[in-house]
């Protein structure tokens, strides 16, 4: 008993002696105010935020997302702005040997003053800016930032060279390029403190960074080298790093040198659990508790969440050209997903709930990869945290898009520091699958006419500047700081004008849309990896009502002068619609059919690309989301509503998909399986007319190989004793292989939608209240095509734009907080005249 008391007492004394001397952190987000430089009246400001959202909060500008207000707010980006706050520091903080002021993001050109002393000038919104303020800090402090218009500095930089860099002077400013305007986004060129500000104070030693570098991963062991960076004012005899995980503690004690240095320790995990995309396994994450001590003084405690996996981009020559596919944990994986853009032109309005919802929508639609597009932003930490947790891979562009950038030394050094900041920040995330240098810069230079007005010397200089960034600085940064992850110079590898685009690398296929090629082009020209292809549609009724401020759906409203950014957008939608659909005359029907049109084209591409695996190993359409309410290529609009495209790609991205295509008067039916084990089961094709009469049937037992596309049935059209305008083919597959049950079916029509002899619209519904919303049972005695349920009640339908086969009932869940649905509307293609 006495021994036990002594042991407990000793442990207590050791804990008491282990003094907590960790850094203190204070966020400087309160008491901010702003004004134009020449004004005398200050107004309250929100930090993090930007000048547009602050002006909007004070009703100094109209909502730029409504009507044509975008045109009336451009003055704000042409002004000088000041932001100021006062804050107090505790005596304890002031006694610390180090006090650091850091800004995670300043947009973009600013002078920073602390207590009337200039401490820094910023010129990159993607960098973290840190300042030693030990000598300036006092009990009461004033922090002021003076923001300059980007255009003024861009013009000054452009005058230093004797040529124009395409497309315009935005290339000189390191900030979100889409804010200068895009063919789906407004010109909202923000300025302000767009990310958190904090003051960190510490004595002598601080833990700056911990990187878990994966050296080896097998079923029996994971070998990690943990690289940790310490800043110390003096040389220290004993710096102890302890890493606790899975009831195991790894500890190393070494001397620490004066200054900032990186040290390495190695640890092993026996029988490691791997991180997988959610559709192939569990996205397992290890939690590491990290403690740094200087002697007995605790200098840092932090957590790291790490997924163990191997991810490689495989580009190897083959008989067709060159492969382009991702290998996850040694398994080639078909990538299914979309291109992601910032969720709001005013980033401070994007909440954690927005990230959670959107990434849940990604998983719900059976996607396993998102491409973070290079004209936006390096996303907030929560985006990557959620991708890690949910098992979504991220193709990460560096933030360069559709342009040629300068190559002077200050610009290159600025880019290098940006890359170091961002790669260091993101490299511990299991979701990061690829670092890509830019979006379409290479293609633009080679085939968009950018060289036409340049001398040979100018062209050489511009191309050398390109190589300095994308063939030197960025790949070297990735190789040094995140060597487990592949680097890709530019997306796409080749422009669509180069025949190689079909056989090598990744492709952006815009023959459909920009060149008005028919949707069938997607079935004839399948690349190795489709990283961009898309088609526009109108957004939801809710989004249209928001920016038109009208209750009725008006597709000719004046607001479309700003809310349709593509100069040929409406004409292209109309021309494509005439090819495949009856063109409605009223606005709400036209919006509905535009969404069906978009979904038809993109799912034709998705399924053609999936049928072609393993030749093609990726399908990322353009685009997932919007940054404001607009006519665009998105599958989820700005209000968070799923368009027809998102509902239909959910089906086209199923892990087990039945997909059919007509070739030489024969219906070829494939089963595509992403599963890593073989499947056996019943396969059937049922041909029925629109009243339910059976016309033809095929039934067979099939064995589906893992991770493949397999041609299952060839059905000559002349075997079907009916007109193609009068029937639907229902394909079904069910399997109970490997202790799991899989059932999938898909309706297929040979004829174009406009040629189908559909019966009249005749749909009945029964609505039942549940704890989370409503169950809506939808029934029909005849085939009802593309049934669209809609309501002004805010919520989400579990399925929509679906077909009801004759004498079928489908149960749809409507998730909402509302107590009732009083205005449920129904549209079908049957009812379009």
- Report the C-alpha gap between 307 and 328 in whole angstroms: 12
pLDDT for the residue numbered 14: 45
DSSP 60: S
- Report the C-alpha gap between 249 and 293 in whole angstroms: 14
Asked if residue 673 lies in contact with residue 655, where contact means CB atoms within 8 angstroms, the answer is yes
pLDDT for the residue numbered 7: 45
Asked if residue 606 lies in contact with residue 646, where contact means CB atoms within 8 angstroms, the answer is no
Task: Give residues with Cβ within 8 angstroms of 64, minimum separation 6.
Answer: 52, 56, 70, 72, 73, 186, 188, 345, 628
Asked if residue 277 lies in contact with residue 392, where contact means CB atoms within 8 angstroms, the answer is yes
- Calculate the average pLDDT of the chain: 96
Asked if residue 814 lies in contact with residue 821, where contact means CB atoms within 8 angstroms, the answer is yes
DSSP 472: I
Asked if residue 198 lies in contact with residue 26, where contact means CB atoms within 8 angstroms, the answer is yes
Stated as kind and residue range, the H or E segment containing 447 is: helix 441-447
The verdict on whether omega for the bond into residue 614 sits within 30 degrees of 0, i.e. cis, is: yes
Helices (H) and strands (E) in the chain, counts: 16, 44
Cα radius of gyration (the chain): 29
pTM over 0.85: yes
Burial class (CB within 10 angstroms; exposed 0-12, middle 13-18, buried 19+) of 571: exposed
Instruction: Work out the number of other CB atoms within 10 angstroms of the CB of residue 68.
Output: 16
- Report the C-alpha gap between 642 and 543 in whole angstroms: 11
- Angle among Cα 520, 662, 580 to the nearest 5 degrees reads 45
DSSP 443: H
pLDDT for the residue numbered 18: 57
pLDDT for the residue numbered 10: 43
- According to the 3-state scheme, what is the secondary structure of 512-540? CCCCCCCCCHHHHCCCCEEEECECCECCC
Describe the strand order of the beta sheet including 694-704 as a list of residue ranges.
694-704, 679-689, 727-735, 742-748
- Report the C-alpha gap between 626 and 620 in whole angstroms: 16
Asked if residue 665 lies in contact with residue 646, where contact means CB atoms within 8 angstroms, the answer is no
Per 3-state DSSP, the chain is made up of helix, strand and coil in percentages (nearest 5) of: 25, 35, 40
Residues in the chain where the model's pLDDT stays below 70: 1-18, 737-740
- Report the C-alpha gap between 198 and 356 in whole angstroms: 25
Residue 276, Cα to own-chain centre: how many angstroms?
Answer: 18
- Report the C-alpha gap between 768 and 494 in whole angstroms: 53
pLDDT for the residue numbered 125: 98
pLDDT for the residue numbered 13: 42
Give CB contacts under 8 A, 24+ apart, made by 753-756: 753/580, 753/581, 753/582, 753/596, 753/600, 753/785, 753/786, 753/829, 754/580, 754/581, 754/582, 755/724, 755/725, 756/690, 756/725, 756/785, 756/829
Instruction: Work out the number of other CB atoms within 10 angstroms of the CB of residue 159.
Output: 9
- Report the C-alpha gap between 734 and 135 in whole angstroms: 72
For the chain, the distance separating the N- and C-terminal CA atoms, rounded to the nearest angstrom, is 91
Across 165-184, b (16+ Cβ under 10 Å) vs e yields: bbeebbbbbbbbbbbbbbeb
The verdict on whether omega for the bond into residue 675 sits within 30 degrees of 0, i.e. cis, is: no
- Report the C-alpha gap between 163 and 146 in whole angstroms: 31
Stated as kind and residue range, the H or E segment containing 387 is: helix 381-390
- Report the C-alpha gap between 628 and 631 in whole angstroms: 10
Distances (CA, A) of 136 to 132, 231, 550: 9, 21, 55
Residues forming a β-bridge with 762: none
């Amino acid at each position: 008993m006495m021994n036990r008391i002594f042991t407990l007492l000793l442990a207590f004394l050791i804990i008491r002696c282990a003094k907590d001397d960790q850094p203190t952190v204070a966020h400087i987000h309160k008491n901010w105010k702003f004004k134009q430089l020449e004004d005398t009246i200050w107004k309250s400001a929100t930090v993090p935020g930007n000048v547009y959202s602050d002006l909007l909060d004070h009703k100094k500008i109209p909502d730029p997302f409504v009507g044509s207000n975008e045109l009336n707010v451009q003055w704000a980006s042409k002004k000088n702005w000041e932001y100021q706050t006062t804050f107090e520091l505790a005596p304890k903080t002031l006694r610390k040997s180090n006090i650091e002021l850091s800004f995670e993001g300043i947009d973009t050109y600013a002078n920073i003053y602390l207590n009337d002393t200039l401490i820094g000038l910023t010129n990159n919104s993607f960098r973290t800016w840190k300042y030693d303020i030990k000598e300036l800090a006092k009990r009461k402090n004033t922090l002021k930032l003076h923001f300059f218009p980007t255009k003024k500095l861009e013009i000054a930089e452009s005058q230093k060279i004797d040529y124009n860099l395409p497309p315009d002077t935005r290339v000189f400013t390191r900030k979100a390029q889409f804010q200068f305007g895009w063919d789906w986004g407004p010109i909202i060129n923000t300025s302000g403190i767009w990310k958190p500000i904090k003051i960190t104070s510490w004595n002598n030693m601080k833990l700056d960074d911990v990187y878990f570098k994966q050296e080896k991963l097998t079923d029996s062991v994971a070998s990690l080298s943990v690289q940790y960076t310490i800043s110390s004012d003096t040389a220290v005899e004993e710096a102890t790093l302890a890493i606790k995980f899975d009831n195991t503690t790894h500890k190393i004690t070494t001397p620490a040198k004066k200054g900032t240095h990186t040290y390495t320790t190695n640890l092993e995990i026996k029988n490691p659990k791997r991180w997988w995309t959610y559709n192939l396994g569990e996205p397992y994450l290890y939690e590491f508790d990290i403690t740094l001590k200087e002697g007995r003084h605790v200098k840092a405690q932090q957590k790291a969440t790490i997924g163990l996996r191997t991810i490689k981009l495989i580009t190897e020559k083959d008989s067709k050209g060159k492969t382009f596919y991702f290998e996850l944990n040694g398994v080639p994986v078909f990538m299914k997903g979309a291109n992601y853009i910032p969720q709001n032109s005013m980033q401070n309005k994007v909440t954690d709930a927005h990230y959670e919802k959107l990434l849940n929508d990604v998983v719900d639609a059976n996607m396993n990869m998102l491409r973070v597009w290079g004209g936006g932003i390096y996303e907030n930490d929560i985006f990557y945290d959620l991708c890690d947790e949910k098992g979504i891979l991220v193709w990460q562009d560096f933030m360069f898009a559709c342009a040629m950038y300068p190559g002077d030394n200050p610009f290159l050094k600025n880019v290098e520091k940006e890359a170091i900041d961002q790669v260091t920040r993101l490299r511990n995330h299991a979701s990061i699958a690829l670092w890509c240098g830019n979006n379409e810069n290479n293609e633009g230079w080679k085939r968009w006419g950018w060289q036409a007005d340049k001398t040979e010397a100018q062209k050489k200089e511009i191309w050398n500047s390109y190589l300095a960034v994308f063939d030197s600085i960025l790949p070297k940064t990735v190789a040094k700081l995140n060597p487990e992850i592949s680097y890709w110079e530019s997306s796409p590898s080749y422009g669509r004008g180069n025949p190689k685009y079909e056989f090598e690398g990744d492709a952006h296929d815009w023959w459909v849309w920009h060149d008005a090629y028919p949707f069938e082009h997607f079935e004839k020209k399948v690349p190795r990896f489709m990283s961009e292809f898309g088609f526009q549609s109108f957004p939801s009724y809710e989004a249209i009502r928001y920016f038109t401020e009208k209750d009725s759906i008006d597709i000719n409203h004046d607001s479309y002068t700003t809310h349709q950014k593509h100069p040929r957008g409406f004409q292209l939608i109309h021309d494509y619609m005439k090819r495949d659909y009856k063109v409605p005359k009223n606005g709400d029907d036209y919006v509905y059919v535009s969404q069906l049109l978009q979904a038809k084209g993109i799912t034709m591409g998705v399924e053609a690309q999936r049928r072609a695996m393993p030749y093609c190993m990726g399908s990322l359409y353009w685009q997932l989301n919007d940054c404001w309410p607009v006519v665009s290529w998105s599958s989820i609009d700005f209000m968070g509503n799923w368009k027809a495209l998102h509902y239909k790609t959910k089906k086209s991205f199923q892990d087990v998909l039945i997909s059919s295509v007509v070739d030489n008067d024969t219906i070829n039916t494939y089963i595509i399986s992403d599963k890593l084990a073989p499947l056996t089961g019943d396969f059937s094709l049922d041909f029925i007319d629109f009243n339910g009469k059976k016309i033809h049937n095929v039934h067979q037992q099939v064995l589906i190989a893992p991770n493949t596309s397999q041609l299952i049935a060839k059905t000559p059209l002349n075997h079907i004793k009916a007109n193609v305008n009068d029937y639907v083919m229902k394909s079904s597959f069910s399997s109970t292989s490997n202790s799991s049950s899989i059932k999938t079916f898909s309706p297929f029509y040979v004829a174009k939608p406009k040629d189908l002899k559909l019966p009249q619209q005749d749909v009945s519904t029964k609505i039942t209240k549940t704890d989370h919303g409503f169950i809506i049972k939808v029934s029909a005695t005849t085939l009802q095509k593309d049934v669209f349920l809609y309501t002004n009640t805010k919520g989400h339908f579990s399925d929509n734009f679906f077909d009801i086969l004759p004498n079928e009932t489908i149960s749809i869940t409507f998730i909402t907080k509302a107590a009732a649905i009083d205005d449920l509307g129904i549209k079908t293609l049957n009812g379009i005249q």
